[in-house]
């Protein structure tokens, strides 16, 4: 890896690791695994073992809508992912926003963490 100014990793704090793994896996179609070999506390690598997601969930103090927003790429449409968010117990916040590289929509996960659903524009 060359040294550049880039995001290296994201960590999302959650109150119930197992419930949050189920939520993120449902919304994004992932297969995350709770691991105990990555430090002093259990974590769940997002989409562990497939396409290296670049982040993990950990037991911590969630932002409850006041922290930063993590935008995650979805594999289908925002509309379909937003339906999964609600079905899995999350909340959709605001309209779909079109931007040059695609579109996104804000959501809140089970703990109120702000998570953007990002749908890249197809070339």
**Which tokens hold the place of 82?**
């937003």
Residue scoring higher pLDDT (69 or 49):
69
Q: What was the pLDDT predicted at 66?
A: 75
Q: What was the pLDDT predicted at 51?
A: 56
Exposure string over 13-35, b if 16+ CB within 10 A, otherwise e: bbeebeebbebbbebbebebeee
Each domain of the chain, given as residue ranges in start order, spans 10-120
CA within 13 Å, CB half, 119: 15
d(C-alpha 48, C-alpha 30), whole Å: 8
Is the pLDDT confidence value at 14 over 80? yes
Of the candidates 51, 91, 93, the one whose C-alpha atom is nearest the C-alpha of residue 75 is 51
Is the pLDDT confidence value at 110 over 80? yes
For tokens 């925002």, name the residue.
Answer: 78
Give the containing element (helix H, strand E) for 103.
strand 102-108
> Looking at the domain covering 10-120, what would its CATH class be?
alpha beta
Structure pTM? 0.85
Tell me what the mean pLDDT of segment 30-35 comes to: 88
């Amino acid at each position: 890896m060359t040294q550049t100014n880039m995001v290296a990793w994201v960590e999302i704090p959650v109150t119930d690791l197992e419930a949050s793994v189920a939520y993120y896996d449902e919304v994004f179609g992932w297969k995350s695994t709770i691991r105990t070999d990555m430090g002093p506390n259990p974590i769940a690598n997002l989409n562990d073992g497939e396409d290296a997601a670049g982040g993990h969930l950990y037991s911590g103090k969630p932002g409850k809508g006041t922290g930063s927003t993590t935008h995650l790429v979805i594999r289908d449409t925002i509309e379909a992912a937003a339906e999964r968010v609600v079905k899995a117990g999350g909340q959709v916040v605001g309209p779909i926003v079109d931007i040059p590289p695609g579109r996104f929509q804000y959501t809140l996960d089970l703990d109120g963490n702000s998570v953007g659903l990002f749908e890249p524009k197809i070339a």
